[in-house]
Amino acid sequence: MIKAVKKGPILEITVPKKWAGITLNHLFQDDWHAPKKLVHEWRMSRTAGIKGRTEGWEAPLSPGDIIQLPLFYSEQPPDFAEFMDIDVLYEDDFVLVLNKPAGMDTHPSQPGDKNSLQNAAAFYLMMKGEPILPFHIHRLDKDTTGAILFAKDRLSAAILDQQLEKREVKRTYLALVHGLMKKKQGTIKEKIGSDRHHGSRRRVSASGKDAVTHYEVVKLFPEKNMTLVKCRLDTGRTHQIRVHLSFIGHPLAGDVLYGGRPILPRQALHAWNLRFPHPLTEEWIEVHAPVMDGIIPEEQN
């Protein structure tokens, strides 16, 4: 675990043994892949460096050195924040995980839009004395509930984006589907592309993008002819779980777009578990999001 501490607008990181001999340039560009604009700001302001040392960014690091970075400052547009009740699942100085309710977008689709989780997160942080624009690392459909990860600063956002691309951010969903699934577990590897006959729908398509969904039966409900399924994603295509489960003949309950019957007010899909390496400390964080509206039964242990 790497020691990373917020001190006002400054981030202080204690250099671990594994960084011995590398340079700040290497750390910023090759390890973190920090945004070029952010690195340029640090370079031009001459405020990023090693505490108590005058050497430049090409000097080798030593274990115990303290890296100081000007990282925390306001990035929030004045009209962005909006009060809404939110369920905070995890928070520290760098990341925030919220439990998104149904009927709410993850983020505004265009400037000025309100009623999104990002609006609510900005207001929550502003009321805590952190007037910043939180960065959403992934998305959920408007009527899908559950855990969404936000970063509080540009460096953490960049590192988490890379982790998501490298499939280090692990997401597990609960889905209630029509029919009794015969296989206890399986993997769906079907490419997903746009449906040219329907602007908002996706479909399995040979010309689409690779998509991999792993599923496991949690519980059968014979009296309702339904199955509770746990799904893990290797990819993050739009509507991936909804498309894949419909493709194998088990559409989500309430998901009329993909063949589900309208027996529920929304599609029965919930982002139940989120596991990821902390962008700065590298400690693994695991968060469970309880189902808030009772649409989906909680996992049976």
Residues serving a catalytic function are 141
Q: At what angle do helices 154-165 and 36-45 cross, to 10 degrees?
A: 150
The total number of residues shown for the chain amounts to 301
Q: How far is CA 256 from CA 31, 119, 152, 190, in A?
A: 45, 28, 36, 21
Region label for 183, one of left (φ > 0), alpha (ψ between -120 and 50) or beta (otherwise): beta
Supply 233's token pair: 């994603």
Rounded-to-integer distance, Cα 174 and Cα 168, Å:
20
User: Are the C-beta atoms of residues 108 and 118 closer than 8 Å to each other?
Assistant: yes
Phi first, then psi: give them for residue 98, nearest 5 degrees: -120, 155
Please give the Cα distance from 97 to 73 (Å, whole number): 20
Amino acid sitting at position 57: W
Closest CA to 218 of 260, 156, 162, 175: 175
